Chain A
Amino acid sequence: MVQKDKGPLGMKTIIIGGGRTGKELAAQLPDSVIIEKNPEKVARLKALKVAVAGVEVVIGDGCDEDLLKRVGLKDATTFISVTGDDDVNYRAARIAKRYGVPRIIARVDDPEDRARFQDLGVDYVIFPTKMIANLIVDLIRPREDKGIGSIDVPFKKILVPILDESTVNRAFKEALLVASVARAEITVVSSPDIERAKMEMPAREMGVRLRVLMEDERLMDIIKRHLHYRGCIIIERVKEHLYYPDCIIIDQEEVGFMNRLLGRGIVLKLIKCASRPVLVARTYRYYEQILAILDSSATSESVGRYALLLAHLCDARLHLLILENIPELVEWMKRMGEKSNIRIIENWIEGNPMIEAVKEVKSGKYQLAVIPWRGTGVIRADLIRRIINDAPCSVLTVV
């Protein structure tokens, strides 16, 4: 077997599983290798002429390390395992991980298997069964009976300001995950020196529509220079491009001592000026456990909505940290959760709300914390800033 060269995008993709998903992927990813063990499926793939697009179809076991090496595992930039067997996908992904493939995507059907895939360090874990089920239920339910899917607040347009190359691997990666489940489009504001293909390829793989505003050097210059002083300029400039994002996903920021003391920073400024949800990316993977911090402030309802929506889309467990006596809101969330098949765990706190909030956020149990964008009286602005700057998980601030 001759190793295939990298394709025109400079990327080589190995796909395990030649079923319908594998076939669709191969059709959209020229110059990839698809490995399928079932000779009938291989014959069908060949008959469908996917190979015309430069796709090589190989018969064999996706967990066979020698075979994988022969098709060029060492040079692969992306490894996608989409068989209908979680064990096969796991073993194949483990080999790919051992060989240091930069991007590994795996399909998982059984929610019980999710943890071991994520522990393995698989970059993207896809749960088609659950996601499709949720989507279908949302479509067929009568309007008045719909769960959280009926709430018209998903992120349809996500803005990702990419200030340096590291953000491509971090904020953009998390934006892709959120966009893939929320069926949202992403607009990236980026400088021309960042390779466009690095964003386009994974976006295509995840089926996410991507717009890149990278020609405007002036725009990036303005963003970099002025964000410290006038975070809102980013929003204004993007509006000039007739783009109105409903969520901004930004990389976490290293905050210096003085900025920390004075409660300043690029991300904080952006949150203050954005008037829309801002997600500070830190997790870079699907959310399994989401924390929503709730009190009696008006923002709590929005916090609850967004938390429910994301928990629904990601099939995550939603933990409610309830700082005040708000039975109506909690009841509403539980009702919505029941309709939308979301597992909700209530935690009514005893003691000091701020300290309990810090304890939960820092517990390391959550991949995402949904919090109000500013102090609410019970949760101090100082604490909000601290969570935004230093939480071990991603933080979604809600207006």
Chain B
Amino acid sequence: MIISPYILLLTIAGFAFLIPILSGRIGVPAVVGEIICGILLGALGLSVEGEGQIIIDFLASFGLIFLMFLVGMEIDFSTIETRGPKSFIIGFFIFLFTIAISAYLTSRLGYFDYRYQYQYGIFSALLLSSSAVGLTVPTIKELGMLKTDYGQTILVSAFIADFATVLLITVYTLYLKEGLTMEMLMIALVFILFFAVYQLGKLAIWHYPERLSAWFKSDQPSEIGVRASFALLLVFVALSEIANVEAVLGAFLAGVMLSLLFRGGTILEQKLYGIGYGFLIPIFFINVGMQFDMGALAKGGIYLIPALIIVALAVKIVPSFLLIVWYSVRESIAAGILLSSRLSLIIAMAAIGLELDLIDKAMESAIILLALITSIMCPTVFRWMHRH
């Protein structure tokens, strides 16, 4: 059924309003509800045409950009400052093992052999190495483990996994597009700009605290803090476009920047979360659900699910045995299970993979389903293991 884009937006907005209420009662993340609603809308055959579709596509892709921006804001480098490099080193080695095991297992699934292009295997291995900071933080917080060594180690491992996955996928996609050329240095340019803006930001905090203070106050009718955050986001997104790097990297770095400079500015964070999770991000996830290809899943994707779940758990649980040096076997396994949850990032990265033809529709659908399953299952098992 072809409808006007505003009717579709109204439908999305209606669902976006209802889903958190319902998912809260059922006990599943709102994102899961949004994707399922999107699948239902897609199954009903709702669609828009022409310019309307362009608007919806743009809003959904900007939702993805904003999602990556907020994921970046979740990255908290202060844990490294406060806890020292131990948890960072542990997290780094866990990620190295994760990526190695991921590459091995995806090759065992046959993604590296002649039937597929090797790019498929590499991209899938990278995808499966990701984690879900957005799920790990609330679970750890809910169990009162945020300030424990154990909780911080899991968090830092999730941060590193997400950060490294975004970075590696960006480097890899650029390599595929341009080859091993000077263009690769453009990524360095983005990071140089990141460093320069960070230094300028620090100077600004020291020299103009009075002016910056207003950004974080609730009584600002001009919402100068929100405007500045959007400007920062768009500077990095535009620069990424110029540098021919994935725009999500720019958005992610802009979020990391905001976290590095102003972490704890709760009112501004709340406003940005409001814009993101209240409007743009549900459009992205509902759109992902609407694009969900049941046919592709039925044709082959469904058979991938058990294998993907096993790989997704194995690539996180096996490296977590490194934690046995400091924690019990049970705690190490529990950490691996929580790190196995995937949600926003893997879906966002799968969307990029599909766009660049690095994975097929069946794989994308399987990954969405994997995210839905692990996002519900892993935190629940972790909670259960912690309580018993």
Residue numbers of A with Cβ under 8 A of B are 261, 297, 323, 350-356, 358-359, 362, 374-378, 380-383, 386, 390
Contact = CB atoms under 8 A, between A and B. Distances in A.
A152 to B, nearest CB: 27
Given A261-B199, A351-B213, 20 more contacts: A297-B82, A351-B265, A351-B267, A352-B212, A352-B215, A352-B262, A355-B213, A358-B205, A359-B209, A359-B213, A362-B206, A362-B209, A374-B82, A375-B78, A378-B78, A380-B78, A380-B260, A381-B78, A381-B81, A382-B202
B264 A378 contact: yes
19 contacts: A351-B216, A352-B262, A352-B265, A353-B264, A354-B264, A355-B205, A355-B209, A359-B209, A359-B213, A362-B206, A375-B81, A376-B82, A377-B79, A380-B260, A380-B263, A381-B78, A382-B202, A383-B205, A390-B206
Contact of B81 (A352, A359, A380): A380
A349 to B, nearest CB: 9
Contacts of A377: 76, 78-79, 81-82
A295 to B, nearest CB: 9
Contacts of A356: 209, 213
Contacts of B76: 377
Q: 8 closest A-B pairs (Cβ-Cβ)?
A: A352-B265, A351-B216, A375-B81, A352-B216, A358-B209, A359-B209, A377-B78, A381-B81
Interface residues of B, number: 24
Contacts of B81: 374-375, 377, 380-381
B206 A358 contact: yes
B213 A352 contact: yes
Interface in B253-268: 260, 262-265, 267-268
Contacts of B11: none
Nearest to A375: B81
Contacts of A352: 212-213, 215-216, 262, 264-265, 268
B82 A354 contact: no
Contacts of A378: 78, 263-264
Nearest to B269: A352
B221 to A, nearest CB: 16
B218 A350 contact: yes
Contacts of B210: 359
A317 to B, nearest CB: 22
A376 B212 CA distance: 21
Nearest to A360: B209
A386 B199 CA distance: 12
Contacts, number: 68
Given A261-B199, A350-B218, A382-B202, A355 B262 contact: yes
Interface string B164-207: 00000000000000000000000000000000000100100110
Interface of B: 76, 78-79, 81-82, 199, 202, 205-206, 209-210, 212-213, 215-218, 260, 262-265, 267-268
A313 to B, nearest CB: 30
A375 B262 contact: no
A382 B201 CA distance: 12
B217 A386 contact: no
A133 to B, nearest CB: 38
A386 B265 contact: no
A89 to B, nearest CB: 39
A386 B202 contact: yes
A395 B345 CA distance: 43
Contact of A354 (B79, B205, B217, B218): B205
Contacts of B217: 350-351
A7 B206 CA distance: 49
Contacts of B264: 323, 352-354, 378
Contacts of A381: 78, 81
A355 B78 contact: no
A133 B263 CA distance: 45
B263 to A, nearest CB: 7
A359 B82 CA distance: 23
A297 B216 CA distance: 22
Contacts of B212: 352, 355
B218 A386 contact: no
B82 A355 contact: no
Contacts of B218: 350
Which of B202, B264, B267 counts the most chain A CB atoms within 10 A? Answer: B264
Contacts of B213: 351-352, 355-356, 359
Contacts of A382: 202
B87 to A, nearest CB: 13
A376 B263 CA distance: 12
A260 to B, nearest CB: 10
A189 B86 CA distance: 35
Contacts of A375: 78, 81-82
B347 to A, nearest CB: 29
A252 to B, nearest CB: 16
A92 B123 CA distance: 83
Nearest to B78: A377
B106 to A, nearest CB: 37
A353 B263 CA distance: 8
Nearest to A261: B199
Nearest to B265: A352
Contacts of A354: 205, 262-264
Contacts of B79: 377
A364 to B, nearest CB: 13
Contacts of A261: 199
Nearest to A295: B264
User: Which has the most chain B C-beta neighbours within 10 Å: A353, A355, A356, A382?
Assistant: A355
A72 to B, nearest CB: 48
A261 B203 CA distance: 11
A356 B212 CA distance: 9
A338 to B, nearest CB: 30
A374 B78 CA distance: 11
Nearest to B195: A261
Contacts of A374: 81-82
A226 to B, nearest CB: 23
A347 B303 CA distance: 60
Contacts of B260: 380
A192 B143 CA distance: 60
Nearest to B212: A355
A363 B81 CA distance: 27
A165 to B, nearest CB: 31
Nearest to B83: A377
A383 B81 CA distance: 12
A358 B265 CA distance: 14
A311 B10 CA distance: 60
Contacts of B199: 261
A359, A376, A380: most-surrounded residue (chain B CB, <10 A): A380
